[in-house]
Amino acid sequence: MHVADAAAVHLVGLRKTFGSGAKAVHAVDGVSLTVQDGEFFALLGPSGSGKTTILRLVAGFETPTAGRVELGGVDVTRLPPFRRDVNTVFQDYALFPHLSVQDNVEYGLRVAGVPRRERRRRADEALAAVRLSGFGSRAPSQLSGGQRQRIALARALVNRPKVLLLDEPLGALDLKLREEMQVELVSIQRQVGITFVVVTHDQQEALSLSDRLAVVNDGRVEQVGTPAEVYERPATRFVAGFVGTANLLVPGAGAELMGQDATFSVRPEKVRLKPVDLPDGAGPSPAGDDEVAALGVVREVSYAGPTSRYTVDLDAGTSFVVLEQNASSSHADVAALRGRRVCLTWQRRDAVRLPPSPAAVPAEKSLT
């Protein structure tokens, strides 16, 4: 492969162990994945899963115990951070409080010895890219959280790195501003065309931002795919439960509804709920060959404006969560279902069969 055609980031058998002997912690355990040039890629996982360590290994802030890091087809495993064509944006933004916005953005160029006139031109371009032209004379303390986040982006972009690494970049923002900045991040990435790799524990954020994502658990990659692939067709029980909400049908507690001795995952929005006036123990009305039906009792109801969430205890011995749009239902209609006997139905194609163990899928298989 020519370097010009190489992937932006290529990790091969990457491992990072802290400590030794019985106290050794395998923070990253044999991770292999590829991020394509110009892609917006997310590393998604819970706290302590190893996703931030993976990012630090790419940036050069940590040295791998084993494995290889390639950037643009070049092995940079043993190179220090300043010799890698990447920049990192941290959650706390790390802006210099005593410098103006303009000087913060120009800082890396000044360290690199770029002439003053060129520094100013490139900083102005970076500020324009994040829609903050005219803010150069302000101090960071005069900016909102969202504006400081964009200044940190401008400072990282001004050096024109091949890859921009973002470690929980929106974690310090409130919900509304975080949602607004998600749209901004995608827009900025599309405009500048640089490869973005973002670390997040927020499932909704990963799904809405990324072209593809890797779900990380216990230092290993459990699945890689587009947001739709990962959400609609989870590869493991962990992915099904961590990325969104999953209703599980397991042997002895619901799997018989599917007619197989296996574990299945069904998303809450795929399930339909209908009150029934049948005595306890009566079966649901016959379902078609492509549909599954189950009886239960509504235990909890949560009204959230546009949607309602129901928790239903099924006769089959498990609980299901159902998410429905309130297209024509009022709060009173929804609340009245608490304690009612209902019939749940879902399409067989919407039930995803999961492997029997939570072990991570092989990296090469997850990339296909």
Per-residue pLDDT tens, the chain, 368 aa: give them. Answer: 445 467 999 999 999 999 888 788 999 999 999 999 999 999 999 999 999 999 999 999 999 999 999 999 999 999 999 899 999 888 777 788 899 999 999 988 888 888 999 999 999 988 888 888 888 889 988 988 888 888 888 888 888 889 999 998 877 677 787 888 888 888 888 988 899 999 999 999 999 999 999 999 999 999 999 999 999 999 999 999 999 899 999 998 999 999 889 999 999 999 999 998 655 555 555 556 789 999 999 999 998 888 999 999 999 999 999 999 887 766 677 888 899 999 999 999 999 999 876 444 444 333 32
- Per the listing, tokens 């049908």 go with 249
- Listed in sequence order, the residues at least 6 apart from 42 whose beta carbon sits closer than 8 Å to its beta carbon are 197, 198, 199, 200, 205, 206, 209, 210, 212, 213, 214
Q: What is the topology classification, in CATH, of domain 246-354?
A: OB fold (Dihydrolipoamide Acetyltransferase, E2P) (2.40.50)
What tokens appear for 262 in the block?
A: 């296996």
**SS3 call for 191:** helix
Phi, psi of 152 (to 5 degrees): -60, -40
Q: Which of 367, 4, 19, 61 is nearest to 199 (CA)?
A: 61
Domain 3-85+161-232 has CATH 3.20.20.10: no
Report the predicted TM-score, pTM, of the whole model to 2 decimal places.
Answer: 0.86
Task: State residue 365's pLDDT score.
Answer: 37
For the chain, domain boundaries: 3-85+161-232, 97-156, 246-354
- In terms of Cβ atoms closer than 10 Å to its own Cβ (0-12, 13-18, 19+), residue 151 is buried
Report the DSSP beta bridge partners of residue 292.
346
Q: Give one DSSP letter per residue of 143-179, joined into a string.
A: S-HHHHHHHHHHHHHTT--SEEEEESTTTTS-HHHHH
- Listed in sequence order, the residues at least 6 apart from 55 whose beta carbon sits closer than 8 Å to its beta carbon are 43, 88, 165, 167, 197, 199
Beta strand 74-75 with 220-225 is unpaired
Asked if 3-85+161-232 and 246-354 have one fold, the answer is: no
Task: State residue 8's pLDDT score.
Answer: 95
- In terms of Cβ atoms closer than 10 Å to its own Cβ (0-12, 13-18, 19+), residue 16 is buried
